[in-house]
Chain A
Amino acid sequence: MNILLVLKTCLQIGVQIFLKLFNNNFRLIRGFCFSDEDKLHKISNKLVMAVSGESGDTSQFAEYIAKNIQLYKMRNGYELSPSAAANFTRRNLAEYLRSRTPYNVNLLLAGFDEQAGPELFFMDYLASMVKIPYAAHGYGGYFSLSIMDRYHNADMSEEEGYEVMKKCVQEAHRRLIVNLPNFKVQIINKDGIKDMPDITAKSIAIEEHGRS
């Protein structure tokens, strides 16, 4: 399988928006305005990190890791592999965990390695890390993991993967009490990072209508 983990993206964003929405409500009451943030950080040419958690920590940590990965590339002339980058990230999280200023972030790191193929790493705020075929963070995950359990297999194509993502989003729309209409999707393969069409409530509704 040479596609990667469009899967993870979906739910990550789900959570982020969920948290943000709640904050947003409070903020609206207080009169603050809410700007949108790209939660999918490009770490290097074939590495993407989706971060969720404490706002501020997320972008701070993601940017810090991204620049360190760039520094490695400049110093050594070649990029860090996805698993090396993931382990570096995890070590950073772990070191800050037992300090006065831990990072409260959950993340999914996806990358494509020339030898090992596509890889997905799941990391949480306690600096635990695991390499898995599909993952989710947050409340959206409670529904989506079962969907992915059922439909995922190791030799899926790009289109099939996108379809499973759509199914997960539909499930979140159906079951989750919070309204999360829009999802951003990215795919990483041997050619690098590419944006896929957003999965929005509107696009799903149009499709359903078209089918019926």
Chain B
Amino acid sequence: MATLIGRKRTSLTEKPTGWKAMVGVRGTDVVVLGVEKKSVAKLQEERTVRKICLLDDHVVMAFAGLTADARILINRAQIECQSHKLTVEDPVTLEYITRYIAGLKQKYTQSNGRRPFGISCLLAGFDYDGVPHLYQTEPSGIYYEWKANATGRSAKTVREFLEKYYSSEAVSTEKGTVKLAIRALLEVVQSGRKNLEIAVMRRGEPMQMLDADKIEEYVTEIEKEKEEEAEKKKQKK
């Protein structure tokens, strides 16, 4: 089943390839979301282009697709987070808010005159009991939980990379988790380090966006490791 979204023809089940790459990794104590930032035009103000946003103090969402559609969903989700807290006195669980967003997306696939939301979301955060979660939703309205996932451009490549390198030891530390996420993104990001946006969610703490220097540190470390690996391979030969 195909629908027209703007000028792009997309299938509800097929992930659109024109969208920016996005990756999420769930560690033991942190959950990391990374997106490829669109390169900002010279005269454009950078801060208005935000692809990672807070739904609540403990839930963060990254999306790939039509930013305008995302705005609507984010607004509804933020209201739902507060409404939930008001009625049941507890912050939303990741599963609840994912189900809510997915349910909203599904509604638009089954009513007349409306088109589906053209975005794929990755929701990350910690439940009240301290367990980390990473969920993905699609325009069709389905949602899955993942240990690590990628959507958007070249999602398949990134996911294969994650399947190869993800292990519980690798993500047992915060550093390991962030490094894995950045490495995965670097596989496909065209313009390299300058265009990464990384958000780190720690248990009981507000979301932290890594600033450019921190990302730079990680990238240099990753490149060094890659070189060492390449050296070892050469020596083996």
Contact = CB atoms under 8 A, between A and B. Distances in A.
Which one of B78, B82, B85, B86 has the highest number of Cβ atoms from chain A below 10 Å of its Cβ?
B82
A74 B86 contact: no
Interface string B52-79: 0011100000000000000000010011
Helix, strand, loop or mixed for chain A's interface? helix
Interface string B80-115: 011101100000000000000000000000000000
A67 B78 contact: no
A71 interface: yes
A83 to B, nearest CB: 22
Contacts of A77: 54
A80 to B, nearest CB: 14
A87 interface: no
Which one of A63, A64, A68, A71 has the highest number of Cβ atoms from chain B below 10 Å of its Cβ?
A71
A17 B55 CA distance: 38
Contacts of A71: 78-79, 82
Interface string A40-69: 000000000000000000000001100110
Contacts of B55: 74
B86 A67 contact: yes
Say which size band chain A's interface belongs to: under 10
Interface residues of B, number: 11
B221 to A, nearest CB: 31
A75 interface: yes
A71 B76 CA distance: 11
Interface in B29-54: 54
A63 B5 CA distance: 40
A74 B78 contact: yes
B83 A67 contact: yes
B47 to A, nearest CB: 10
A88 to B, nearest CB: 14
A67 B54 CA distance: 15
Nearest to A75: B78
B55 to A, nearest CB: 7
Which one of A68, A75, A77 has the highest number of Cβ atoms from chain B below 10 Å of its Cβ?
A75
A47 to B, nearest CB: 16
A70 interface: yes
A64 B86 contact: yes
Contacts of B54: 74, 77
21 contacts: A63-B86, A64-B86, A67-B82, A67-B83, A67-B85, A67-B86, A68-B82, A70-B82, A70-B85, A71-B78, A71-B79, A71-B82, A74-B54, A74-B55, A74-B56, A74-B78, A74-B81, A74-B82, A75-B75, A75-B78, A77-B54
Given A70-B82, A74-B54, 15 more contacts: A63-B86, A67-B83, A67-B85, A67-B86, A68-B82, A70-B85, A71-B78, A71-B79, A71-B82, A74-B55, A74-B78, A74-B81, A74-B82, A75-B75, A75-B78
Interface of B: 54-56, 75, 78-79, 81-83, 85-86
